Structure 1
């Protein structure tokens, strides 16, 4: 991907691994890495052989958030601070959009926009030594990437994280429902791959539809659900995978999915 900032690996088991590769900056989101992530997510979405994705980072951080140097330069002498983070909007639009299941494998620090990035993934696995937080208030900048975090961890817990700017251990984030699993540091990819394999054994169109359907309910009123459900599941209902799944059930055998 762009200048090696994101590595994309497709495994034979239909699992794609996207690895952020800016370790010298703790994978902070500058324009280059954000653009590489957008390209990588589009590639993942278009890759018919990739049914489940894993997003992780190199070095001691998953992602430290937005690049503060960009913000410092952008805000100097009355400059356009908001313009300095314009590159983040396409990234969050891409990761929040309709896509296949994507697991965040948090390998270290997960702060600020990095926490928002992980939260936008479908499921999250983290190492025991990982640290999480919303540190923006500690350096006097606003946080824009947590608008619906409270739906996952609760309003007061989300607000406490934002107001205190404190770091939190993985054990706390598991307790409040932010994480699916916490594993020993050396077992992160093993655990993430095992979770991805549990998803990839199922019909890929059905898992993608389940992801889209549940996400739709987070952001839209109840009365909009029936029409959306018909649209989301239209492709699945007309698919060879549905016919194969029903036939395999009747014949008591494992289905062979074709993603069509």
Structure 2
């Protein structure tokens, strides 16, 4: 059984973590497979939005602890972080297409932080997020210490990282940890609608917006204003901008091509 499933439909790539028997926890094969699939989605012109979700009861429980405790299989934490999780996070942030984290179940440890690295994160009402690292004597990785305090504030993020508290989807939305909580009964349908909407938007502009927000994490005001000017000029040269203006003038719905 493939550890990662990929389906491309309606210009959307649906990437599904598929080790449900271990709550979609990562081993080396799964981590490397996800990196390759993300690379393929980035270069595939038929893909204009990406959905990352999980199969079964969990989104992702983080690292498969059997791998790190097996004397023959254990790649060591240095290799796990530098070759597994860090490249996944950097790929999600760098890919110039919107990435939706469709969180279908518990997201714990590295799984929680991979979820938070996505561009738009939605979860159904039964989902929970757990910074589980401290509960086994570890520290947050997979950019948890980068994104979480920026999303919900220093004090709350530090407390969650230290205490390992479980946060439900409703609380996660209230804190600003995720974009939206979706009712369980309409979760799949609403995720599909959101993904298709993004896939039909001006992909070039969405990628530039993503780049601007990425850079805003470290830029000062003057640097960010300069980057906005540069990327606005780039966006204004796109076919989608011309189509958007024409559609507005002609009072019709635009047909963006993602170029």
Taking structure 2 as the reference length, what is the TM-score of the superposition?
A: 0.90
Contiguous gaps of at least 5 residues in structure 1: none
When residues 223 and 183 of structure 1 are mapped into structure 2, their CA distance, relative to the original with a 3 A threshold, is same
Instruction: Count residues in correspondence.
Output: 256
Taking structure 1 as the reference length, what is the TM-score of the superposition?
A: 0.89
Deviation at 1:230, TM superposition (A): 4.6
- SS of the counterpart of 1:182? strand
Matches within 5 A, 1:72-221: 72-73=69-70, 80-85=76-81, 86-145=83-142, 146-148=144-146, 149-221=148-220
Q: Which residue of 2 aligns with 1:8?
A: 6
For 2:95 and 2:228, the matched residues in 1 are separated by 13
- SS of the counterpart of 1:87? helix
- Please report the RMSD computed on the Cα atoms of aligned residues, expressed in angstroms: 2.3
Contiguous gaps of at least 5 residues in structure 2: none
When residues 234 and 29 of structure 1 are mapped into structure 2, their CA distance, relative to the original with a 3 A threshold, is farther
Q: Is the 8 A contact 1:101 1:207 kept in 2?
A: yes
Deviation at 1:61, TM superposition (A): 0.7
- SS of the counterpart of 2:190? helix
1:116-165 CA distances to partner (integer Å, 9 max, x unpaired)?
10111011111111111111111112222312211111111111111111
- SS of the counterpart of 1:158? helix
When residues 155 and 25 of structure 1 are mapped into structure 2, their CA distance, relative to the original with a 3 A threshold, is same
Q: Which residue of 1 aligns with 2:45?
A: 48
When residues 256 and 81 of structure 1 are mapped into structure 2, their CA distance, relative to the original with a 3 A threshold, is closer
1:46-73 CA distances to partner (integer Å, 9 max, x unpaired)?
1212222111000111011122223334
- SS of the counterpart of 1:49? coil
